[in-house]
Amino acid sequence: MSTHHPTDATLAAYAAGTLPEGLAMVVATHLHFCPDCRRMDRVMEATGGNLLSDLAPAAMAPDALTRVLARTAEAEPPERPAPILQSGLPPPLARCEFGRWWPVAPGLRWRPMKVSGRAWAGLLVVAPGRSMPKHGHDGLELACVLRGSFVDASGRYGAGDIAEPEGDHDIPPRVDSDDPCVCVIATEGVRMRGLLGSIQRMLGR
Amino acid sequence: MNGQTLRFPRLAVPTDPPPRRAIGRVRHFVGFRRMSQAERTIAEPDHADLIRAIADRSDREAFAALFAHFAPRVKAWMLRSGATDGSAEELAQETMLAVWRKARLYDREKAAPATWIFTIARNLRIDAVRKERHPDTLLPDPADEPDMPAQADQLLHTADTATRIRHAMASLSADQVEVVQLAFFQDKPHSEIERTLGIPLGTVKSRLRLAMARLRSALEDLA
């Protein structure tokens, strides 16, 4: 059972579909682990449905219904489920495309996820005892632990927990599990310091 | 149009899944009655019957009624989130086409019609406007669904949920409604919501948190 959850603002943005894709993938990963947040997601979706019902209608084109009815006769484009690409990862990450692993620092490996939108995302593997790179935040950052655990000033994060830090990390999160800690991370803007910062600047992100 | 002309007989269909839990059904009917008392507008269960009629017999009249209600509202949503009239119109039409095509997948035990159509429109909008995906669209296979305590999850899906949330929303302050609407209908980061409303981000977040706490508590005795 997870003990760290996304904020309501983040869950609302997820249900409303305004969260950038990378961040939404991290929230969806947490939902896979957390029945409470799945409940809340449904509350949010029902809220969206109610808000939709309450909107003042906007006039449709006069032939809108005729046009849609005409199109119902068209052959339906075949709907193929996205293939499972990473059987070791929980849904929906299992169906996401990833780049190659990059050794970014001693005890630190990064694998970018192919997502569109203003957030970037990927998997981060950190060796036991190591710390996450020091960084500050310009926008929303979300991390969901898949395996292992880490600790920071706000507590301990195990499998399924989501970290939604605000502002800069005073103490960078440190892995306290015996095995490497695997996280899926997405961020709208991170200013890395040190080695990872130079890589970030080299890659132009 | 009124609720009477839109009511379609509920048909016994061989493909109808057997009721899994009597309690879910009972709650569903309780929700139905409350809704009719509380709402003078078209009640949600009527919309569920319309979707069923589309699924069962490609009922164009039922579709027209559903279209008349939802297409202009989906379009209004798209306009509010910044779409041009042309693309809002197109997305509303695409949403209704998807409603026709997916009608067979609709399960009234799982979501109120407005909730279901909301998620269809949401996913289409992300795909068309932002060229992104919602994770839901990567989960087409029910076998993917994690094993969950079915009852807690399932009970929340009923029309009763929508009714309870509707009542809880009616009890929110105007300020709270404003942040909830912005959170849902404006495709903007919270920092921009702050600029739109002219109030600090902390206030936006705490208003939203209070509003959501109220919606959450409206469902607590269902758990």
Q: What is the location of CATH 1.10.1740.10 in chain B? A: 5-9+27-138
Which CATH number goes with the domain that contains A192? 2.60.120.10
State mean pLDDT over B183-208: 79
pLDDT exceeds cutoff 60 at B219: yes
| Count of all residues that appear for chain B in the document | 223
Contact B56, B100 (CB under 8 A): no
> Which has more pLDDT, B23 or B200?
B200
How much is the pLDDT for A56? Answer: 95
User: What is the residue range of A151's domain?
Assistant: 1-51+90-205
How much is the pLDDT for A129? Answer: 94
Instruction: Give A149 to chain B, closest Cα distance, Å.
Output: 22
Indicate whether A137 belongs to any domain. yes
Query: Chain A neighbours among B 79-138 (CB < 8 Å)?
Result: 79-80, 88-89, 92-93, 96-97, 100-101, 111-119, 121-123, 125-126, 130-138
Chain mean pLDDT for chain B: 76
Indicate whether A67 belongs to any domain. no
pLDDT band at B129 (very low <50, low <70, confident <90, very high): confident
DSSP string, A132-168: PPPEEESS-EEEEEEES-EEETTEEE-TT-EE---S-
Distance of CA B99 to the CA centre of its chain: 12
**Which ipTM value was assigned to this complex?**
0.89
E strand or H helix that includes residue A126: strand A120-126
* Short-list B207, B123, B120, B114, CA closest to B161: B114
Q: Which of B74, B122, B132 sits opposite A20 (nearest CB)?
A: B132
Contact B136, A70 (CB under 8 A): no
Looking at residue A91, its amino acid is: P
Indicate whether A160 belongs to any domain. yes
Measured CA to CA, the distance from residue B114 to residue B48 in angstroms comes to 9
Backbone angles phi, psi at A13, to 5 degrees: -65, -35
Mutation target for B interface from A1, A14, A26, A39: give the one with most B CBs within 10 A. Answer: A39
- Classify B68 as helix, strand or coil: helix
E strand or H helix that includes residue A191: strand A190-192
How much is the pLDDT for B197? Answer: 79
How much is the pLDDT for B6? Answer: 43
Residue A109 carries which DSSP code? E
- In this predicted model, what pLDDT tens digit does every residue of B161-177 receive, in sequence order? 778 888 899 999 999 99
Backbone angles phi, psi at A136, to 5 degrees: -115, 165
pLDDT exceeds cutoff 60 at B148: no
Minimum mean pLDDT among A49-63, B106-120, B180-194: which range?
A: B180-194
> Which has more pLDDT, A138 or B11?
A138
Q: Residue A203 burial by CB count (10 A; 0-12/13-18/19+): exposed, middle or buried?
A: exposed
> Which has more pLDDT, B144 or B55?
B55
* Short-list B156, B150, B149, B148, CA closest to B222: B156
CATH class of the domain whose range is B5-9+27-138:
mainly alpha
CA angle in degrees (0–180, nearest 5) for B54-B56-B1: 35
Mutation target for A interface from B84, B95, B139: give the one with most A CBs within 10 A. Answer: B139
Q: Which of B132, B184, B219 sits opposite A12 (nearest CB)?
A: B184
Residues 6+ apart with CB under 8 A from A101: A109, A110, A111
pLDDT band at B31 (very low <50, low <70, confident <90, very high): very low
> Which has more pLDDT, B216 or A49?
A49
Measured CA to CA, the distance from residue A188 to residue B109 in angstroms comes to 37
Residues 6+ apart with CB under 8 A from A73: none
Tell me which chain B residue has its CA closest to the CA of residue A95. Answer: B138
Residues 6+ apart with CB under 8 A from A143: A26, A124, A157, A162, A163, A183, A184, A185, A186
* CA distance from start to end of chain A: 35
State mean pLDDT over B59-84: 95
CATH class of the domain whose range is B171-223:
mainly alpha
Number of separate domains in chain A: 1
Q: Which of B60, B111, B138 sits opposite A69 (nearest CB)?
A: B60
Contact B66, B54 (CB under 8 A): yes
Residue A116 carries which DSSP code? -
Query: Chain B neighbours among A 129-188 (CB < 8 Å)?
Result: 139-140, 188
Mutation target for A interface from B212, B214, B220, B221: give the one with most A CBs within 10 A. Answer: B212
Measured CA to CA, the distance from residue B139 to residue A53 in angstroms comes to 26
Q: What percent of chain B has pLDDT over 90?
A: 36
pLDDT digit string (tens) for chain A, length 205 residues: 678 999 888 999 999 998 999 999 999 999 999 998 998 898 899 999 999 999 999 999 999 999 999 999 888 888 777 888 888 899 889 999 999 999 988 899 999 999 998 888 999 999 999 988 777 767 788 999 999 999 988 899 999 999 988 766 667 889 999 999 999 999 886 666 665 666 666 555 4
Contact B186, B81 (CB under 8 A): yes
Structure token pair of residue A81: 């489920």
Measured CA to CA, the distance from residue B114 to residue A13 in angstroms comes to 18
Contact B96, B121 (CB under 8 A): no
pLDDT band at B25 (very low <50, low <70, confident <90, very high): very low
State mean pLDDT over B17-42: 41
How much is the pLDDT for B10? Answer: 42
Q: What is the location of CATH 1.10.10.10 in chain B? A: 171-223
- In this predicted model, what pLDDT tens digit does every residue of B95-110 receive, in sequence order? 999 999 999 999 888 8
How much is the pLDDT for A82? Answer: 81
Measured CA to CA, the distance from residue B61 to residue B80 in angstroms comes to 29
Measured CA to CA, the distance from residue B180 to residue B209 in angstroms comes to 10
Looking at residue B132, its amino acid is: E
pLDDT exceeds cutoff 90 at B76: yes
Cβ within 8 Å, pair A64-B67 = yes
